[in-house]
Amino acid sequence: MTLLKVRGLSRSFSGLRAVDNVDFDLPQGQIRALIGPNGAGKTTFVGMLIGRIAPDAGQILFDGQDITGWPAHRRVAAGMGYTFQITSVFGALSVHENVALAARRQPAGAIQRTRQALAQVGLSDRQATLAGDLSYGHQRLLELAMGLAQAPRLLILDEPTQGLADAEIAVFQALLRDMAGKTTVLLIEHNMNIVMQSADFITVMDRGCILAEGSPAEIHANPVVQAVYLGTSHAED
The pLDDT value given to residue 105: 80
Backbone angles phi, psi at 102, to 5 degrees: -65, -40
Q: Which residues contact 111 (CB under 8 A, 6 or more apart)?
A: 100, 103
Q: Which residues of the chain have pLDDT under 70?
A: 84-87, 231-237
Phi-psi region of 35 (alpha: psi -120 to 50; beta: other; left: phi over 0): beta
Which domains, and CATH codes, for the chain?
30-52+71-230 (3.40.50.300)
What is the chain's Cα-based Rg?
A: 17
Residue 98: C-alpha distances to residues 50, 69, 141 (Å):
20, 28, 12
Residue 9's DSSP bridge partners are: 22
Could you give the CA distance from residue 162 to residue 45 in angstroms, rounded to a whole number?
A: 20
Lateral strand order in the sheet of 80-83: 80-83, 154-158, 184-188, 31-35, 201-206, 209-214
The pLDDT value given to residue 85: 57
Cα dihedral sign for 105, 109, 110, 116?
A: negative
The pLDDT value given to residue 83: 83
Question: Based on the number of CB atoms within 10 Å of its own CB, is 201 exposed (0-12), middle (13-18) or buried (19 or more)?
Answer: middle
Query: What is the DSSP secondary structure assignment for residue 52, as one 8-state letter?
Result: S
The pLDDT value given to residue 84: 67
Residue 92: C-alpha distances to residues 97, 141, 210 (Å):
10, 17, 41
Could you give the CA distance from residue 102 to residue 114 in angstroms, rounded to a whole number?
A: 8
Q: Which residues contact 1 (CB under 8 A, 6 or more apart)?
A: 27, 28
The pLDDT value given to residue 164: 87
